Every structure is written in C-alpha cells, then in structure tokens.
Structure 1
Amino acid sequence: MAGETANNNEIVIPSLTRVWLAPVATTAPTDATVAMPDGWRSVGLTTEDSLKFNNEPNFEQVRSAQSSYPTRTFQTQDASTIEVDLQQWSGPNFQAVYGGGQISEITAQDSRKHYRFTPPRIGGRTEIAACIEVIDGGKHYRYMLPRTMQMEGVNTELAKTKESVLPLRLAVQGGDDTDAWYVITDDPAFAPAIPPVEPPTED
C-alpha cells in the first residue's frame, strides 16, 4: 500500500476556535457547519493559546522470560480532557468552571441588582456537554463531547497587571450508550478510502 503524499492543504492552522456548552442530552449539531441547535451556549472569548484537547490512554504490558520486550500490550483505560481559559466573567461561565453551583439575586443597599454565586457542595457537581469548534479557512471541525465533568481545582490569578481568566478543565465521561467523543468535519481529507476494484475473474 502506497504511503500518503506530501500535501500542505492538510496542515491545519486554527484561525478561529469556539467553545460551546450545553446540558447533557441537548441535541447535537448534525454536521460541521450547521447553526448550533437550541440549548448550546458559547463561552465567549478565550485566550489565544489555551485551548487543548488531550487524549491519554493507559496500557499494561505482559512480559515473558523468552523476550526482552513485552510479549503483549493491552489497553486498560482511556481518558480525554478539555483545557481552555475563559476571558469573560459571567454567571454561566462561573458555573461551568466550578462544576455547577447556584446563582441568586440578593438584597443590596444601593439601587443596582446584586447577585450571589455559591459553588456546588460535594456530590453536587453536574455534567455538561461540550463542543470545540475549529475553523481553518473553508475547513470546519467540531469535537463533540456528549458528557463531561469539571474535575480539577480552580486557580484564578487576581493580579493587577494582567487579565484574570477562568480556567475551564473538563474530563470526558463515558458510557455504553454513546460515543465518549467524536469529530465531525467537512474536510475532504477525511473521506474514507475507496478500495480498489478487483478485475473480474475468468471462468
């Protein structure tokens, strides 16, 4: 089988990225360019270089006396995470970053409305669906993650000399009834290879 040829059109430079969140079981987009269905919310502005999708499978190895190398390797776990730093402070973004929580209006001494955010208690974190959208010219990619949960600590720097961002860290959750994550794209480089047609055999 011949190897792939060099093709600089298959290099991806994410000129635009977006992160969308929604309650679990919200209808997912059917393709890579259709408008996001009702229920999906953009997190807004994010820092330029913080968006990452990580996939980290774990393996075990069997070793035998007859070989200096493993004689069998098998996968035991899979893990995927999203990392992105949010620049917009809002109630929904706080809930996403802290894994849930409650927002309520409180009585204030001045004429403006004031609000109170309370993070979730132990056992009160909620799962959310996520979508990472990547655009490179005419190519579009959507990483769809039906179930994720915020499972890391939150470290927010409140320095005078730079912006304060909200670190969103989501861990992909799995299940037997759905794919843990998948990508939809209109990139022609993803088209399945067409198997060669075998010539008819003579009787």
Structure 2
Amino acid sequence: MSFWGYLVDQRQHLLTDAFQHVSAVVQCMAIATLLGVAIAVLTFRSDWAGNLAIASTATVLTIPSLALIGLLIPVVGLGVPPTVITLVLYGLLPVVRNAIVGLRGVDPALVDAAKGIGMSRTARMLRVELALAWPPVLTGIRVATQMLMGIAAIAAYASGPGLGNEIFRGIASLGSANAINQVLAGTLGIVVLALLLDALLALVGRLTIPRGIRV
C-alpha cells in the first residue's frame, strides 16, 4: 500500500492519535507554565534561589526520556500518569529560565513608579513585572512545546496516548507491508503538529505582546 493510501485508509485512527498527542502536550505545557512561572516569581529576586531553580529543572534534561518513563512505570503504572509527569518535568526548564531572566530584566524604575501610584505588590507583579516579562516567558513556552512534541512520542513506550504509538507499531513490525508507512505517518504527523502549534503560539504573541516591547 502507498503512503497516501495508508493515510486515507487509517485517517480516523491517525486523527484520533493526533488529537490525543496535541491534547497531552498542550495540557502538560499549561501545567508546566503555571508551575514554572510560580517558581520564577518565588526565586528571581535571589541569585542563589534563582540559580538553584534553573539548575534543578535543568537536571531533569540530563535523564533520557525513555529512562525516566521506565523509572516511573513501577511507581505510577502505565498510560497517562507517567506521560503527564514526564512532559511536565521536561517542560519546566525553558519556562523557569526565561521567566527568571524576564523578571530580572524589568526596569526597577517602572516597579517603583507603580508602587508610587499605590499599586499593591500583587498588582505590581501581575500588571507590571509579569506583563513586561511575558515576551521571554512566551519564548520559553514555544521552545518547551516543540521539545514536548517529540518527547510525547516516547510516551507510547508506557502505553501513553499520541502518535508515538504509530511509530512504535511500525518499528515493532519492520518488514511488514505498512511498517514504514506507520513510522512515516507518526513522524510526519508530529512534525506538522509541532509547526502548527508554534504558529499558533506566535499568533498569541502577536495578539498579547504590545508592539513596543516585542523582541
């Protein structure tokens, strides 16, 4: 069967896997963003605390994703739990690092001016510091999202959702008629979805970042 014929024949199954893949990445990226920004807000004012936060989240990237998933399986089982934990942990570093850099780069005079007009500490953080740090934070989100799109494929090893299942099925059946088609469908699907998600995040940046502070 040709590759195009395989796509047509398996379109419903591929669309389901693609939806699950994107859904897993987006949801885990949302959790990683909330956690990462919270960690940055708590640590950016202290050099040692900020550096410790960056170093701690960077340590996760030294662990091969397949090994991390394998270590999690005896603890949380197969399926969604090891997938979510792995993706969230891997998504933290770009967000934490960029959020800390962005928050440290805010002009103190602007923060003092906001304080001078009576804004509370929470309001200053939300409306001044995080608002000005949003461009680098969004860059971190974009980098992490692209990374997680690939790592999510490894989750199929733990019976996780997504297009990785298509790749693993193809590898497991190498020599069969559709093995190459399965690997290609899963791989190209992930690439296309990653490009679409990045384009969507770029659009979010255009809509949410004022022209004057775009990088």
Pair in the same fold by TM > 0.5: no
More strand by proportion, 1 or 2?
Answer: 1
More helix by proportion, 1 or 2?
Answer: 2
TM-score by length of structure 1 reads 0.29
TM-score by length of structure 2 reads 0.28
The higher relative CO (CA closer than 8 Å, separation ≥ 6) is in 2
